[in-house]
A = this chain, B = another copy of it.
Amino acid sequence: MLKKYMIEAIAVTKEGLNNGETPFGAVIVKDDRIVARTHNQVWSTTDITAHAEVTAIREACKNLNTIDLSGCVIYSTCEPCPMCFSAIHWANIDEIIYGADIDDAKRAGFNELEISNEELIKRSGNKLKLTRDFMKDECSDLFDIFVAKNDKRVY
């Protein structure tokens, strides 16, 4: 796990925040190369499914021309919701590394589905590697930026 990839996920999240999106970003890495780099695009695309991880998976599938993302690692600024976790599961991604968690998102007003990634991994029988709290402070700061904007569009 490399800081430079989470730094990139934080950078793309800030690009999203500057464009009126919500504070979530993700980067997918394969063989030490970024194959997707996206922020939440729910508002700009009018697509409630366009969470950062989902848009990253779509982009990685497109860039690698496959639905099988075995060998990939996803860096997410926040713990993936069950929609995003399940997308990661179906994509056969090897590893999730995230920074902030569901509680941080809730503090910023997001109405989270409270099923942790740890539980989802156990329930799915998936062998996903999971690293929590990676650069947690820097990732949590993204929620502070969002809250300071007084943005109530918590999707």
Contact = CB atoms under 8 A, between A and B. Distances in A.
A30 interface: no
Interface in A70-111: 81-83, 85-87, 89-91
Interface residues of A, number: 32
Given A82-B86, A113-B86, A155-B90, A46 B62 contact: yes
Nearest to A114: B123
A30 to B, nearest CB: 15
A124 to B, nearest CB: 5
A50 to B, nearest CB: 8
Given A47-B62, A47-B67, A83-B89, 11 more contacts: A43-B67, A46-B66, A48-B61, A48-B69, A49-B58, A81-B90, A82-B82, A82-B83, A82-B85, A83-B90, A114-B124
